[in-house]
Structures are given as C-alpha cells and as structure tokens.
Amino acid sequence: MKPAQPETPEPTDAAARRAVAPVVCYPVQTLPRPDMALYRAARETLAPVSEVTVPPREARCFHVPAGHFFRIHCVEGPQVGDLNLWNAQDLNERFYSGKTRALHGTHLSTGDRLWSGFPALRPLATITHDTLDWYGFDAFGGSVHDVIGTRCDPYTNTLLSGEQYHHCCHSNLTRALSAETGLPPARAERLVHDVLNVFMCTGFLRDTGQYFMKQSPVRPGDFLEFFAEQDLLGALSACPGGDCGAEHSSDAAACFPLRVEILCPAPGALAGWNPPEPNGYDGSHGL
Ligand SMILES: [Zn+2]
C-alpha cells in the first residue's frame, strides 16, 4: 500500500513525470482472435448435455469436451463462483489468471479468452456470452468477472483472523479435485490455482490501491457462457462469501448454489474450427 505520508520529497518535475501518458503493456492487435461469428452461429444450435449443481460453500468438478460450451448459472440468489480450469489430458496445463489479466484486462467478458500457463500459453476457453456485460465499470471502478483476485483461502484467513475455516474456495476446490481425480488432497491442492471470479464485483480503491469487493449485481437467470477450446476439466466453488457484499471465509453470508450446464452444438456447426496448438516458442531459452 502506498504510504499516506511519503518519506521522500517530491522532485521538482513530479507533475510532469505523473503526466506521462500510459502505454498498453500488451497491445492485442496481433493476438490470434477467436472467430466470434462462428461461435455465435454455433451457440444458436446448442442442446443441453448434462449439468452439475454446486452446493453452497462447496465445489464440484465437471468435464467439457473440446468444441462444447458450458454455462455457469445463477439460480436461487446472488452468488459468486470461483472457477478453475485444466486441460483434461494434462492437469499441469491450467488457467493462468495473471497472463489472462495482462492480455485482456482486470475483468473479462464476451470475446475474452482464458489462457493456460507456460509452456502451452494457449486458450483453454473463450467467453461467448455474458448476461452481465451491461454492467461495465461502476463509479467505484468496480466490475464483474475479475482476474485480479486469487481465491479465498484458509491460509490468508488464518493469517488475518487466527481462525480455522475449511470452506474457503481454495479448500472447496481441493476437495472437489481430489474426489474427481483420486489424487491425495495434498497433490490435488498443488493443482488448484488462481481463479476467474465469476459474477464477483471487484476493483481497486483509487486512494490506497486496495482490492475491494462489493455486492454482486448478479441475479437468478444470469449466466456466463464459455466455449471449450480444449477438453476441459473444470472445478467451480460457490464462494462462502455468497454475493461477496460483506465478508468471505466464514459462514456469515447467505450462500446459494450455482449450476453448471454443458451444451453441445449441432453437428457441422463448428466447421473450420480446430483446437489451438501449443505456443510456438521453441523452448530453448537461448541455451
Ligand atoms: Zn471464495
């Protein structure tokens, strides 16, 4: 956090230095673009295949074949979901929220992609519909579906409160992945990673830069829809923070289930689409 009373006096040209215009770190003009027209046409043909209900303060896993879609639905009340994604064939290839943030910004919506980590660095999924895309950024600088938070976890909670709480999203995701894969919990925990905060409304305070959350604008009937670019294993936690309007890492908030729906497009609807290849860097690192 920036000190309220800096110890270092301002240089005489401080105003000029601050006035330098920013440059976007990663201009995405050369980023391979999803064929949204193809996805839009395909999503008009979707038929439901299966669904998974995530109970409050728990997580569940789900599988999505490459070329299928999945939706995360708000069903009974405002509820935030913490999403992990893995390449179903290789769980070491998993969602990289930091690079996704660097490429697409702090909050995701339709057309943005969820990228995997190195060395693959390729899309795991593409967002194809977002019923909260009207929200934009509010007067506090808040928006929905962030890749700036991590996931609520028992370690930070113990650090801050001294308490033991076992239904943070990190623990929920660990239990769900362990149950799904048969991996011992300690191994599964190593595969749990920073999330897409589905439906969560977050930002940074302008004066201190602190990460904030506020009551999610999501309502029953809202959903976020993804296209699976690869065979995916997903895990979704219904955060113990509920709508994250007050606190998380406790049983204090009202919590609701979330529903994950897997959908299949009609045969031929994805003609011309191919799963993304691994990244083209040769991996030699100059050696
Ligand atoms: Zn959480």
Distance 152 CA to ligand 1 centre (A): 4
Distance 10 CA to ligand 1 centre (A): 40
Distance 190 CA to ligand 1 centre (A): 17
Distance 174 CA to ligand 1 centre (A): 12
User: Residue 1 — pLDDT band, cuts 50, 70, 90?
Assistant: confident
Please tell me the distance from the alpha carbon of residue 105 to that of residue 134, in angstroms, as a whole number. 17
Distance 248 CA to ligand 1 centre (A): 6
Dihedral of alpha carbons 204, 209, 213, 214, sign: negative
Distance 197 CA to ligand 1 centre (A): 8
- Tallying the residues shown for the chain, one arrives at 287
Q: Which helix (H) or strand (E) holds 232?
A: strand 232-238
Distance 21 CA to ligand 1 centre (A): 36
Distance 31 CA to ligand 1 centre (A): 31
Three-state DSSP at 149 gives coil
Is pLDDT at 154 greater than 90 in this prediction? yes
Distance 15 CA to ligand 1 centre (A): 40
Distance 186 CA to ligand 1 centre (A): 19
Is pLDDT at 249 greater than 80 in this prediction? no
136: Cα separation from own chain's centroid: 17
What does the pLDDT look like over 16-48, one tens digit per residue? 999 999 999 888 888 888 999 999 999 999 999
Q: Which helix (H) or strand (E) holds 128?
A: strand 123-130
DSSP string for residues in 64-116:
E-TT-EEEEEE-SS---EEEEEEETTEEEEEB-HHHHHHHH-SB--TT-EEEB
Distance 193 CA to ligand 1 centre (A): 12
What does the pLDDT look like over 100-150, one tens digit per residue? 999 999 999 999 999 999 999 999 999 999 999 999 999 999 999 999 999
Average pLDDT value over all residues in the chain:
96
What does the pLDDT look like over 61-109, one tens digit per residue? 999 999 999 999 999 999 999 999 999 999 999 999 999 999 999 999 9
Peptide linkage before 265 cis (omega within 30 of 0): no
> What pLDDT shows up at residue 2?
82
Select the more confidently predicted residue: 207 or 134: 134
Q: Residue 68 class from Cβ within 10 Å (0-12 exposed, 13-18 middle, 19+ buried)?
A: buried
- For the segment 203-207, the average pLDDT, to the nearest whole number, is 92
> What pLDDT shows up at residue 28?
83
Distance 112 CA to ligand 1 centre (A): 22
In the numeric block, which tokens belong to residue 136? 């934009």
Q: What letter represents residue 88's amino acid?
A: A
- Contacts of residue 165, defined as CB under 8 A and 6 or more positions apart, other chains included, come to 154, 157, 158, 240, 249, 250
User: Residue 252 — pLDDT band, cuts 50, 70, 90?
Assistant: confident
In the numeric block, which tokens belong to residue 20? 């330098």
> What pLDDT shows up at residue 3?
83
Distance 188 CA to ligand 1 centre (A): 17
- Contacts of residue 244, defined as CB under 8 A and 6 or more positions apart, other chains included, come to 80, 200, 201, 202, 213, 214, 215, 216, 253
> What pLDDT shows up at residue 247?
80
Distance 71 CA to ligand 1 centre (A): 19
User: Residue 4 — pLDDT band, cuts 50, 70, 90?
Assistant: confident
Distance 24 CA to ligand 1 centre (A): 30
Distance 165 CA to ligand 1 centre (A): 12
Please, are residues 250 and 166 in contact by the beta-carbon 8 Å criterion? no
Distance 162 CA to ligand 1 centre (A): 18
